[in-house]
Chains A and B, each alone.
Chain A
Amino acid sequence: MNTDLMVNGQAQRLDADPRTTLLDALRNYLHLMGTKKGCDHGQCGACTVLVNGRRINSCLTLACMHDGDEIVTIEGIGGPDDLSALQQAFIAHDGFQCGYCTPGQICSATAMLDEIAAGWASHATKNVASLPGLTVEEISERMSGNLCRCSAYPNIIDAILEVAAGKEQS
């Protein structure tokens, strides 16, 4: 069946079996290999992309359910010549080893900073009716949907905190 997607600002028409997940559509049909398949069951976060500005697991949704939606993958966040602040911070802080989880981490963190800016509480926020702070506990909790097999967590958190602090000042 046909599905129209806006991927990284470009209109794409997909003709695929309705069983095709958004993840498989991105990788196998649109050849955007940045988005990774880890578990294919919502358990690791490697497949995280932004749909209409929100982070989701692309492995647990069907491409055909996203007709008309705007998708941003790691390729749309920034490339070698125009790295985003988070991408630069991941390099500066050595926020990866093998790099397999990194596209998902960066897509996830990009949306996560918007969620904090919108005042969304997390499980680490003491009182859900108060504004969340920018602490290591908050960032780890909010990023718990992204596993890193190489356990680069401390550097990932440093990278995110640096960008978050920069955003707060500006």
Chain B
Amino acid sequence: MTPFAYSRAATPSEATGLGRDGASFIAGGTNLLDLMKLEIITPDRLVDISRLDLAAISETPEGGLRIGAMVRNSDLAADRKVCDSYPVLAEALLAGASAQLRNKATTGGNLLQRTRCYYFYDTAMPCNKRAPGSGCQAIGGATRLHAIFGASVHCIATHPSDMAVALRALDAEVEVEAPEGAIRRLPLSQFYVLPGDTPHIETVLAPGDLITAVILPPPQGGRQTYRKVRDRASYAFALVSVAGVVALKEGRIAHASLAFGGVAPQPWRNETVESMLHDRQPSAGLFAQAADALLADARPQKDNAFKISLLRRTLIAVLNELTDADQ
């Protein structure tokens, strides 16, 4: 690790003030310290935000849920309201990392965790995300983990979070406090940016911007599930994952929201697929059509074409599970 100055922020405004110019916030530290040990990230100053008073989960006036940025992944997964009304979120959290890591990992930090691309992790390799303009060693290299949607010729990395995939299906919003105190709220759909020719820019956050909360709309009802496919049964990142929320009314699909993990630089969603399902009777033919529509845009790399058939099967399995009349 390269040396840094350490300061602990007592209030969000103190944090945003200290958080500019080469500084990094540290919350749980489970991603940042991993990367700092390898000198992939070398902040001059660490601003400890772990003790900010942002660890509450509370109901919003609209009947949704406000999740403080400092809420631990384990506490969020164990929250009664989350388990009862947003089970897809609890399932996604519990499918991620290990119990020890979830006890440290925070809501804000989880959203901002960096890619697991092997070349991003190896400082001897060119990587446009780590060292802008140096090239991308992944393209043409080992691409088993990489994206099939949303990639560019400059970067094909995936976003590794499970939690963010569930939040995307739930139409979550992110609340951000800027230095000088302005607070804004933006949908998660507008929070991440695609790599394009600036893969080192991953979100719309500016230096010093602090995530203060994630906000869920009122529960949509219906059935929910998070299905994650990985190389081993536990403690591994997703090859592909599907977060699904589906409500049936009189035998027809009244509402479907679906988000996909492990396949893109950000939690992926495709509204065309959802509208194809809308007001239709569940059937094998319909689900196959939906999968075709989703995967029509897929652009595999050398080693990851398997993600196309895997995502197809996983999506169909999720739709079957969520519309099965016997369940």
Residues of A within 8 A of B (CB): 1, 17-19, 21, 40-42, 45, 48, 54-57, 60-62, 64-65, 108, 111-112, 115, 118-123, 125, 127-129, 140-142, 144-146
Contacts and interface: CB of A to CB of B under 8 A. Distances in A.
Contacts of B104: 56-57, 60-61
11 contacts: A18-B46, A42-B34, A60-B34, A61-B30, A65-B26, A112-B99, A118-B78, A120-B74, A121-B90, A145-B99, A146-B98
A73 B288 CA distance: 53
Nearest to A108: B100
A61 B33 CA distance: 7
For the complex, would chain A's binding face be called helix, strand, loop or mixed by DSSP majority?
Answer: loop
A123 B74 CA distance: 12
B234 interface: yes
Given A1-B6, A19-B1, A123 B94 contact: yes
A45 B33 CA distance: 16
Contact of B29 (A17, A48, A60): A60
Residue of B26, B50, B98, B99 ringed by the most chain A CB atoms within 10 A: B99
Contact of B83 (A40, A61, A115, A128): A128
B103 interface: yes
B33 A144 contact: no
B54 interface: no
A102 to B, nearest CB: 16
Contacts of B29: 60-62, 65
Residue of A62, A128, A144 ringed by the most chain B CB atoms within 10 A: A128
For the complex, would chain B's binding face be called helix, strand, loop or mixed by DSSP majority?
Answer: mixed
Give the size range of B's interface with the partner.
35 or more
A141 B83 CA distance: 19
Nearest to B1: A19
Contacts of B6: 1, 18, 62, 64
Given A57-B30, A123-B94, 13 more contacts: A18-B46, A19-B4, A55-B100, A56-B101, A65-B48, A111-B99, A115-B99, A118-B78, A123-B91, A123-B95, A127-B87, A142-B99, A145-B235
Residue of B8, B28, B33 ringed by the most chain A CB atoms within 10 A: B33
Given A18-B6, A55-B100, A108-B100, A129 B50 contact: no
Contact of B77 (A45, A61, A120, A142): A120
Contact of B3 (A19, A56, A108, A128): A19
A42 B37 contact: no
Nearest to A43: B235
A61 to B, nearest CB: 5
A49 to B, nearest CB: 9
Nearest to B91: A128
B84 interface: yes
A56 B84 contact: no
Given A19-B3, A57-B30, A61-B33, A121 B100 contact: no
B50 to A, nearest CB: 6
